[in-house]
Amino acid sequence: MRTILLFVVGVIAIYLITTPTTATPVDISDPDIQGLGRWAVAEHVKKANDGIKFSSVVSGDQNRGPLLGRYYDLIIDALDSGGKDHKYKAKVYMRDWADKRTLLDFEPAN
């Protein structure tokens, strides 16, 4: 019985890891998406201390992670420390089973 259970768990794990995810656009009018963008800028500023100020999320995609989570690729409009408007790319991972966010990447958008 234990061998069968381990086999089933292994098959499920392989399926979850190898199943491709499809990106779906996010609704930028959703306050939760705007809040996620604001949070991403705040997390970046904590590390870089560069004075960027959030304006809005202008576009983005959501992907299902291999396990219970979602990846967000956001394009964020923000002001630099000199007040100039710039676009930034942020990649955020959110776990479904816990209200935990991780900023994976934050860089200027080309």
pLDDT for the residue 72:
96
Q: CB-side exposure of 79: number of CA atoms within 13 Å?
A: 6
In angstroms, the CA 100 to CA 95 distance is 6
Residue 17 lies in a domain: no
DSSP labels, 53-91: EEEEEEEEEEEE-SSSEEEEEEEEEEE-TTS-EEEEEEE
In the chain, the number of structural domains is: 1
- Residue 89 resides in a domain: yes
Report the C-alpha gap between 101 and 110 in whole angstroms: 25
45-49, 57-61, 92-96: least confident range: 92-96
Tell me the residue range of the domain where 39 lies: 22-108
**pLDDT bracket for residue 22 (50, 70, 90):** confident
CATH code (residue 60): 3.10.450.10
> In sequence order, what are the beta bridge partners of 70?
64, 94
pLDDT at position 21 is 62
Query: Is 90 exceeded by the pLDDT of residue 14?
Result: no
Residue 28 in this model has a pLDDT that exceeds 90: yes
In a domain, 7, yes or no: no
Q: Is the pLDDT of residue 19 over 60?
A: no
